[in-house]
């Protein structure tokens, strides 16, 4: 059975993955628009346009690969950070409670001043 901390770790990873999926969707739309533009100018016979079209297509392929890799790395790093936090809290519960209490007192003091 999963503990609350493990559930929170999974929730954080799912949230990060959702945010990255939304950004990836926006980038995908951009790539699709650029590719459509390239298809429309493909009928132009100019050699310079053909070379430029090839370079843009190559850049799109590289950008897609980098986007996928970046998203994967961000999700992996989020999972690792959440796991490390979970492990630390399990190994040092009183320190974690103390840090949370001090943070709550600071936030309370800041809110009260306003």
pTM flag (> 0.95): no
Q: Quick: pLDDT tens for 55-97.
A: 888 888 888 888 888 888 888 888 899 889 889 889 999 998 9
Give the model's pLDDT for residue 46. 76
User: Is residue 45 pLDDT above 80, yes or no?
Assistant: no
Give the model's pLDDT for residue 35. 80
Q: How many CB atoms lie within 10 A of CB 9?
A: 21
Q: Quick: pLDDT tens for 12-28.
A: 667 767 776 777 777 77
Tokens of 68: 């996928």
Domain ranges for the chain, please list them: 4-113
User: Is residue 1 pLDDT above 50, yes or no?
Assistant: no
On whether the CB atoms of residues 34 and 60 are closer than 8 A, the answer is yes
The overall average pLDDT reported for the chain is 81
Residues 6+ apart with CB under 8 A from 76: none
């Amino acid at each position: 059975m999963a503990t609350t901390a493990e559930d929170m770790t999974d929730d954080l990873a799912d949230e990060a993955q959702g945010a990255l999926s939304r950004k990836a969707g926006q980038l995908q739309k951009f790539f699709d628009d650029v590719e459509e533009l390239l298809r429309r100018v493909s009928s132009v016979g100019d050699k310079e346009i053909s070379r430029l079209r090839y370079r843009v297509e190559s850049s799109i392929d590289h950008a897609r690969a980098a986007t996928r890799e970046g998203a994967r790395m961000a999700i992996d790093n989020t999972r690792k950070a959440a796991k490390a936090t979970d492990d630390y809290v399990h190994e040092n519960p009183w320190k974690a409670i103390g840090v949370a209490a001090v943070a709550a007192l600071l936030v309370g003091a800041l809110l009260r001043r306003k």
